[in-house]
Structure 1
Amino acid sequence: MELLPLVCLCLLTWSGTTFADGNGPGVVTVAVAEGSEAVLPCSLSTRQNIEQKVFDWKKDVKKEVFLYAAGQHYNKGRTGQDEQFKGRVFHFEDELKNGNASIKIHNTKMADSGSYTCTFPNTAEPESHVKLVVDPDPERFILKDRRGENIPGAAPEPSVATLNQTIDWALLQCVVRGASPKPKVEWQDGSGNILPAEEPQVSERGGRYDIILQTTVTKTDRYRCVATQEEINHQVHSDTYVLMNDRREENNSGES
Structure 2
Amino acid sequence: MENCCKPSLLFSVSCLFVLTQLLSWVTTQQFLVFGPSDPIVAAPGREALLPCSVFPAMNVENMEELRWFRTRFSEAVLVYRDQEEQKEGQMPEYSWRTSLVKDQFHQGKAAVRIQHVQASDSGIYICHFKQGHVYEEAILELKVAAMGSVPEVHIKGPEDGGVCVVCMTSGWYPKPQVHWRDSRGENLPVSSETHHEDAKELFSTETSLVVRDSSVGNVTCSIFNPILGQEKVMAMFIPEPFFPQASPWKPAFLMTLTMMVLLVLGACYLLRREHSARLEVQQEWGNLQHEKDELLKTKEDALRTTRALREELDGRKAAYNAAWRKAQLYADWRKEHFQAWTFTLDPASAHPILAIAQDRMSVTRKDTTMCLDDLFSVTGTGGISSGRYYWEVKLTKREGSKWILGVCREGVDRKDFYFESPAKGFWTVGQSSSGYWAYIDSGRASLSIRQAAQIVGVFVDYTEGDVSFYNMSDMSHIFSFHEASFSGTLFPYFRIKSGNVSMVVRSMACVSEEEEREEGEERKEKK
Q: TM-score range by the shorter chain?
A: 0.3 to 0.5
Q: Computing the radius of gyration over CA atoms, which structure comes out larger, 1 or 2?
A: 2
Structure that is richer in helix per residue: 2
Bigger relative CO (Cα 8 Å, ≥ 6 apart): 1
TM-score by length of 1: 0.42
TM-score by length of 2: 0.21
